[in-house]
Amino acid sequence: MSETVLYETRGPVAVVTMNRPAVRNAQNAVMTFALDAAFTRALQDDAVGVIVLAGSGDHFSAGHDIGTPERDIHKSFARVSTMWWEHEGKPGAENLFVREQELYLGMCRRWREMPKPVVAMVQGACVAGGLMLAWTCDLIIASDDAFFADPVMKMGIPGVEYFAHPYVMSPRQAKEFLFLGERMPAAEAHRIGMINRVVPRASLEAETLGVATRIAAMPRFGLALAKKAINQAEDRMGLRDTMDATFALHHVAHAHNAMTSTDHLAGQDAKSMAKGLK
Ligand code: ZN
């Protein structure tokens, strides 16, 4: 397995760690497929009851890779979550639509449906694409220095690809979150019910592993059924349909950007995105 993602077991808990700390665990395609391989390994191991998703270094994840030397948006890869054809070399909106269907929406939905419980362990930045990863998890435990943001309005985009915003917070809060793109501190995320617990940074790992280990003591199949029950309820509340509908709007925004600026991200990069946002 690539060292972009680390895998270890602590008793009945598999800890899957994003490992690009120098770039705040920016997620490229290599990392996405390494995460998928790590989750698959944990699912197939009967000794593993619960999975913890973590990020190495000071931040959980700053989001999708939009500018490191290892950015790999034009590279082809075998499909895992969809039956779409290769995006590489395809013209116009087709290229990005196909790529993001597989890599972002498809993969996140696939991971949300993992039958074993997954706990996100979040410190520092949990931004945009990082938010998507945390939201696919069943529980989110954060340190008091963690913050959450989806600042893609700066690119003129109505939210990240995995559009769970009006389900993980109220619709009115979701509008403020999207319109302003500002950071939501862990304490506020906890107050509105978006995350389960906030603990001091020094006890984040012990708290997360403690919760994960206690869940892992419960019956495996029962946990899978409980997870499915809640996920089905969210889907009946419209989560899945909302994501499909919003994915189309997301790609109108990408196409509009490509037609009116230098690229599908409205010419923004990691540096310009960080500028001027609270
Ligand atoms: Zn996109």
First to last CA, the chain: 37
| Whether pLDDT at 2 is above 70 | no
Dist. CA 184 → ligand 1 center (Å): 22
Q: Is 60 exceeded by the pLDDT of residue 144?
A: yes
Q: H-type helices in the chain, by residue range? A: 29-44, 92-100, 107-112, 129-136, 165-168, 171-180, 186-191, 204-216, 220-236, 239-260, 270-274
Which amino acid is located at 167 in the chain? Y
How many angstroms is it from 176 CA to the middle of ligand 1?
A: 20
Q: How far is the CA of 164 from the centre of ligand 1 (A)?
A: 14
pLDDT at 1 over 50: no
Cα of 254 to ligand 1 centre, how many Å? 7
Reported confidence tier of residue 275, pLDDT bands at 50, 70, 90: confident
How remote is the CA of residue 120 from the centroid of ligand 1, in Å?
23
Model confidence over 24-42: pLDDT tens digits? Answer: 999 999 999 999 999 999 9
Determine the distance separating the centroid of ligand 1 and the alpha carbon of 220, expressed in angstroms: 35
Q: What is the CATH number of domain 5-274?
A: 3.90.226.10
Cβ atoms 144, 201 nearer than 8 A: yes
Residue of 34, 192, 163 whose CA lies nearest to 105: 163
pLDDT in tens, 217-270: 999 999 999 999 999 999 999 999 999 999 999 999 999 999 999 999 999 988
- 78: confidence class by pLDDT, cuts 50, 70, 90: confident
- State in Å: Cα 161 to ligand 1 middle: 6
Q: Are 75 and 29 in contact (CB under 8 A)?
A: yes
Residue type, 102: E
Question: Is 61 within 8 Å of 25 (Cβ atoms)?
Answer: yes
Distance 198 CA to ligand 1 centre (A): 30
* Cα-to-centroid distance, 100 and ligand 1 (Å): 6
Output the CA 47–ligand 1 centroid distance in Å.
37
Count of residues making up the chain: 278
Residues ≥6 apart with Cβ < 8 Å to 189: 140, 142, 146, 148, 195, 198
93-102 as b/e, with b when 16 or more CB fall inside 10 Å? Answer: eebbbbbbbb
Q: Report the C-alpha gap between 103 and 73 in whole angstroms.
A: 10
pLDDT of residue 235: 98
Q: How does pLDDT run across 159-218, given as a tens digit for each residue? A: 999 999 999 999 999 999 999 999 999 999 999 999 999 999 999 999 999 999 999 999
